[in-house]
């Protein structure tokens, strides 16, 4: 039995039932992390503090300060908005072969399962 359930992202309708498709437990948390990463602060009018400031890092030079600031912004947002994460480690690394893209790896353990999960997300800094 599912502990948590939420809408599947992107939102879609199940053709058989006519209901909004859903996901459960760790898949729900994984999608929640992606939604937090993809939502810019002040984007949602009812929840202006929801999301991250990732887009504010566009056109920045990838240096140790940038890496530290981006890592801290993502960590703070995930701790604030995803309550089902017990253990969290965020790493930010330059993407191989690109001077304007970083790879963010989010390793976490949830309060649902003791298994470590990972979400990887590439952030392009020139668009």
Q: Which domains does the chain have, with CATH numbers?
A: 5-124 (3.10.450.40)
In the sheet that holds 101-110, the strands lie side by side as: 85-94, 101-110, 116-124
Q: Examine the pLDDT at 3 and tell me if it is beyond 90.
A: no
Per residue in 15-43, pLDDT tens? 999 999 999 999 999 999 999 999 999 99
Predicted local confidence at residue 127, as pLDDT: 60
**Alpha carbon distance 77, 36 (integer Å):** 7
In degrees and rounded to multiples of 5, residue 34 shows phi and psi of -65, -40
pTM metric for this prediction: 0.85
- What are the tens digits of pLDDT across the range 71-102? 999 999 999 999 999 999 999 998 877 778 89
For 64-74, the pLDDT digits (tens) are 999 999 999 99
Residue 125 region by backbone torsions, left for phi larger than 0, else alpha for psi between -120 and 50, else beta:
alpha
């Amino acid at each position: 039995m599912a502990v948590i359930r939420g809408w599947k992202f992107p939102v879609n309708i199940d053709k058989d039932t006519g209901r909004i498709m859903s996901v459960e437990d760790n898949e729900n948390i994984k999608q929640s992390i992606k939604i937090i990463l993809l939502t810019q602060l002040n984007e949602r009018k009812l929840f202006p503090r929801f999301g991250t400031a990732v887009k504010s890092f566009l056109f920045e030079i990838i240096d140790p300060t940038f890496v530290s600031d981006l890592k801290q912004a993502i960590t703070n947002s995930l701790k604030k908005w995803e309550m089902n994460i017990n253990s969290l480690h965020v790493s930010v690394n330059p993407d191989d072969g690109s001077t304007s893209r970083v790879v963010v790896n989010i390793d976490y353990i949830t309060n649902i399962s003791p298994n470590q999960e990972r979400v990887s997300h590439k952030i392009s800094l020139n668009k």
